[in-house]
Amino acid sequence: MDHNKDYAFASGGIIWKIIDRPKFEAQSLRYKILLVFALMMLCWLPIALLSLSTLGLQKFYLLFIRDISTHVRFLLVLPIFLFARRSINNSFNHAVSFFYETKIVDDTNSNEFERLINKIEKLKTSGFVDFLIILLVYLLFFVQERSRVNNVANYAPWHLLNNHISPAGWWYLLVSLPIFQMLLYRWIYTIFLWIYFLSSISKIHLNLSSLHPDGVAGLGFLRYTQLSFFPVALALSALTAGITNNLIIFSGISLTDYKIALGTVLALSILLFILPLLLLLPLLAKVKRKYFMQYSSESWPIARAYEKELDAFYKTGEDKPDASWHVDLIGSFEQTQQMKISLVDKSILLAFIAAIIIPFLPVVAQQIPLKQVFFDVVSKVLG
């Protein structure tokens, strides 16, 4: 396998192919910022200008400026989606290289591993997946068009003008939203590719060791690949928080009315960004059991021989046996016993829980005075 090849799976798809035509990642930072800014403006600026021209200044403020969901979607989430790809691709490339550099993958299991990498390569560039994403985007167009006419209270009202979709609304539905949705669905697909990768390597006989100092048989580096998804988790949470904010502003609902929905979002975020690492739990449990049984079995002959040498020493007082093996063996047993079978640790939990919670703080602050909550908590702690 060519170790200099780009194995990154956050690629493929129509948007990425268009962006990659000028070799996006090889360009200067200034060029990348300008390109991302241009795409943001293509999605956001026309609907802002069209809304201003059709609504007038006062309604423009009431109906468009207060539409936090739209601003978050195109001015925050969109650039995060575009810039996050590099860190995730780099992390995955480093992970693949690390499997080889550390001999976790060698001549004994490289065929299986390379088949998996080739399968992911085909999946990420699949034209059929591109077709399904486009089909989904434009099938949803009809659902979204109808929902905005019949359920306008659930959305920012600038989409409609005299009970018809406004020019800004048409640009949003035909241009801005499809671009955003293609990126969104591509990221969801990329997350599932990562989950598929973790699930598949758990079935490969990797060369792992319970004695590795990372405490997870040598797979601790995968935590850093998982952490590279932090910006995506933050963006998805911000998207949900923006929609919730609009419901509060334009529909007058209370945050407590959506407890089940928000709980579902939290559960899905945990499912997508934390639980995938648990797919390796059976593999790590197998490694731990294997080495514990191996050390236990190999220790018996040595222990029996040592007992005989010790008995002879007690009788003759000569040739005191060397007990250093015993210390080494105890150390091996202790390391194996302390080995964890889960890659989920505090850093993973804290990072993704923070990514989920932070975007909702401004939403919560609209109905719960966070400053007062803070001082109440401090007063109770100190009092």
DSSP string, 157-170: GGGEETTEE-HHHH
Phi and psi torsions of 348, nearest 5°:
-65, -50
Tell me: the pLDDT tens digits for 322-377?
666 666 667 777 778 888 999 999 999 999 999 988 998 888 777 666 556 566 65
What was the pLDDT predicted at 152?
47
Arithmetic mean of pLDDT, 121-140: 85
| pLDDT band for position 109 (cuts 50, 70, 90) | very high
| pLDDT band for position 153 (cuts 50, 70, 90) | very low
For residue 9, the 8-state DSSP code is S
Pick from 35-44, 248-257, 329-338 the range whose average pLDDT is largest. Answer: 35-44
Report the amino acid identity of residue 74.
Answer: F
Q: Is 103 left (phi over 0), alpha (psi -120 to 50) or beta?
A: left
Q: 221-225, 310-314, 379-383: which range is least confident on average?
A: 379-383
Tell me: the pLDDT tens digits for 158-193?
887 777 888 998 899 889 989 999 999 999 999 999
| pLDDT band for position 76 (cuts 50, 70, 90) | very high
Q: Are 229 and 223 in contact (CB under 8 A)?
A: no
Report the amino acid identity of residue 64.
Answer: F
Domain ranges (residues) in the chain: 14-279+349-382, 290-338
Instruction: Spell out a b/e string for 20-56, using b for 16 or more CB atoms within 10 Å of the CB, else e.
Output: eeeebeeeeeeebeeebeebbeebbebbbebbbebbe
What is the spatial distance between Cα 81 and Cα 187, in angstroms, rounded to a whole number?
8
